[in-house]
Amino acid sequence: MRILSWNEFNLCVEKISDRCKYKKFTGVYGIPRGGLCLAVAISHSLKIPFLDKPKPGSLIVDDVYETGLTLSTFRQIPDITIFVWLSKSSPEWWEAVEFCDPEQWLVFPWEDQESVDKDKINYQNDRYQ
């Protein structure tokens, strides 16, 4: 299990912002729930609008790439850039700040750390049944 800190979050925002600072975006969209914190912080950092839905030419962010089911729904939007904080597989059509073991359970700073074990069981039950 890896428990991520707010300092690591801030470094992630800096890295994404640095890699995107010369690109033009219509705004930034965060995939609910994990991408919302990133999107707000990046919106401030890059001084671009926070979007309530993805648009052509937008930056789309999420906390983790696991199976690709979530991110793949956005692939058809023209001229987008997709970033994740952590990727459990090698990026193909998305970009990642960090990579981690596919089996590693991640706990993000905005999550309730007292509910980690219950959340993990619920996630595994939903995915593997």
Q: Which CATH number fits domain 2-127: 3.30.70.1060, 3.40.50.2020, 3.40.50.720, 3.30.1020.10?
A: 3.40.50.2020
**Could you tell me which residues come within 8 angstroms of residue 86 by beta carbon, excluding any fewer than 6 positions away?**
63, 64, 65, 96, 97, 98, 99, 100, 106
Percentage above 90 pLDDT, the chain: 83
Structure confidence by residue, pLDDT tens digits, 88-129:
999 999 999 999 999 999 999 999 877 766 766 666 677 666
- Enumerate the H helices of 1-129 as residue ranges: 6-20, 34-46, 69-72, 116-127
